[in-house]
Chain A
Amino acid sequence: MQSQCKTYRPQWLPYVEAREWGRDGLTGAEIQDLERHLQACPACRQQVEEITAHLNFLHRLAKVQLPDSLASRCLFDKNPSVLDPRRKAFSRQTIFVGVSLFVGIFLFGVWIGSGGSPATNTDDPFGALLQEQNRALAQLQRLVQTGDNETALSPDNPWYASIAELKYSSRLLNAYYQPNRANYGAQRGFCLALYQNIETIRSLCDYLEKNKNAPNETTQWIG
């Protein structure tokens, strides 16, 4: 009887619904078969009684009635913005802002990971040397400057070609350095070349500082 009960068990709910409220779901033959089993099985009878009492209880429960103003709100207030803002926590706007923030942080991380701008990154020895060289060149330019124009060196100045060449070589060094920066040996080599450039410029600056009053001699020296 136990194994039979197991097969009948899922049928008791539709059986009670059919018996109490005439709802379809079981055929007449199935109902007769279930009733035959019920007469012989007190355990299943008790279960059917429990289900009947439970469903009767649910049917007797008060039905929820529509609030007075809801139908008119559905009719006339079709703007969804009146709805609870708490549930709009994951609105399209919020998702867009969240995704943008994530992508922004990700790209910033990638930029930081790749070393950022070489000219501004002080951890980069080559970048720091490049800045140092530019400062030294600017100082050299100031020292060899003649006339009223303070911002640009005149092509007539005898130092013009030398300073232009130094600037060009630093740009060239930078261009070769960037693709090879991961190579430690190449990094050292480029830094050394830049350091030697700086030393040369500084020694020139010192010489010019000491010989301010002898321009002709200086011109001869670089010629």
Chain B
Amino acid sequence: MAILHQAGDSASRTEPLREQEISSRAACSDEHLYAQWVRRYSSPVYGFLYRMLSSSEDAEDLTQETFFALYQNRTKVRTDVELLPYLFTIARRKAISLIRRRTVRGIFLPLAHEHEQEIACPRFSPADAALQSQQEQIVNQALATLKPKYRAALILRFFEGLSYPEIAQVMRKPEGTVKSWIFRAEKELRRRLLPLVEPERR
């Protein structure tokens, strides 16, 4: 289950990893290197998937699947590029695929809320609800109302601290398109979270 703690600046978290990665690649076996990757990157990958899917169970499963895909290709992974965008690329594809399947299921299920059809019916288990603060739940619900591509871009930018070129690399889109998506997503999310943010401004 997801346990929450205070966030630091997520942008600084990924920066020192690359040089360590390259230096360790020569010295370690592939298995050892894979273990290092899991220790370093499982947290951001899980965080991204959790925000994308609003479900700790699905996020755990997809994190495992993402690292399984990395394990299968561990000998082919290039050492001269940052690994985290590659992992986010796999994770994003898996998350979007799951959201689509949920959407297909959602079409055949009666939905209580009209938004849920377009947000692909996120699952909030009672255990999640117990652990999440009220703010967390509202933010996750607001995130779930965004289109999956907007949601992914916004999470990568504001929660995982990736740069625009890195997000463009993950999303396989031009940088200008990604900027435009993030602009729209932030605007939409701000509109939805306004009642929550407004009292803090006063």
Give the B-binding residues of A (Cβ under 8 A).
Answer: 10, 13-14, 21, 23-25, 49-51, 53-55, 57-67, 70-71, 73-75, 77-78, 80, 82-84, 87, 89-90
Q: A25–B164 Cα gap in the complex (Å)?
A: 8
What's the least CB distance linking A211 to chain B, in Å?
A: 76
What's the least CB distance linking A30 to chain B, in Å?
A: 14
Do A53 and B197 touch across chains, with their CB atoms under 8 A apart? yes
Supply 21 A–B pairs (Cβ within 8 Å), ascending by A. A10-B180, A10-B183, A14-B179, A53-B200, A54-B197, A57-B196, A59-B9, A61-B139, A62-B4, A62-B133, A63-B5, A63-B7, A65-B2, A66-B42, A66-B46, A67-B3, A70-B42, A71-B42, A80-B65, A83-B65, A89-B101
What's the least CB distance linking B36 to chain A, in Å?
A: 10
Given contacts A13-B182, A50-B190, A71-B39, contact A64 B51 (CB under 8 A): yes
What's the least CB distance linking B158 to chain A, in Å?
A: 5
Q: Is the interface of B mostly helix, strand, loop or mixed?
A: helix
Do A64 and B11 touch across chains, with their CB atoms under 8 A apart? no
Beyond the given pairs A14-B179, A65-B5, 8 more chain A to chain B contacts, judged by CB atoms under 8 angstroms and listed by A's residue number, are A13-B182, A51-B190, A54-B197, A57-B193, A62-B5, A67-B2, A67-B56, A70-B63
The 5 closest A-B pairs by CB, nearest first: A63-B7, A62-B4, A74-B67, A64-B47, A54-B190
Do B56 and A23 touch across chains, with their CB atoms under 8 A apart? no
Q: A89–B104 Cα gap in the complex (Å)?
A: 11
Do A84 and B4 touch across chains, with their CB atoms under 8 A apart? no
Do B57 and A61 touch across chains, with their CB atoms under 8 A apart? no
What's the least CB distance linking A163 to chain B, in Å?
A: 64
Contact with A along B180-202 (1 / 0, CB 8 A): 10110010011001101110110
What's the least CB distance linking A203 to chain B, in Å?
A: 67
Give the A-binding residues of B (Cβ under 8 A).
Answer: 1-11, 34-35, 38-39, 42-43, 46-47, 50-51, 56-58, 60-61, 63-65, 67-68, 71, 98, 101, 133, 135-136, 139, 158-159, 163-164, 179-180, 182-183, 186, 189-190, 193-194, 196-198, 200-201
Partner of B186, one of A51, A67, A89: A51
Q: A49–B198 Cα gap in the complex (Å)?
A: 11
Complex contacts, B193 vs chain A, CB 8 Å: 54, 57
Q: A77–B7 Cα gap in the complex (Å)?
A: 29
Q: A25–B175 Cα gap in the complex (Å)?
A: 11
Q: A13–B180 Cα gap in the complex (Å)?
A: 11
Partner of A77, one of B34, B64, B135, B190: B64
- Complex: chain A residue closest to B51, CB-CB: A64
- Complex: chain B residue closest to A16, CB-CB: B186
Q: A84–B60 Cα gap in the complex (Å)?
A: 10
Do B9 and A21 touch across chains, with their CB atoms under 8 A apart? yes
What's the least CB distance linking A15 to chain B, in Å?
A: 12
Complex contacts, A70 vs chain B, CB 8 Å: 42, 46, 60, 63-64
Q: A64–B55 Cα gap in the complex (Å)?
A: 11
What's the least CB distance linking B8 to chain A, in Å?
A: 7
Complex contacts, A87 vs chain B, CB 8 Å: 61, 98, 101
Q: A71–B34 Cα gap in the complex (Å)?
A: 11
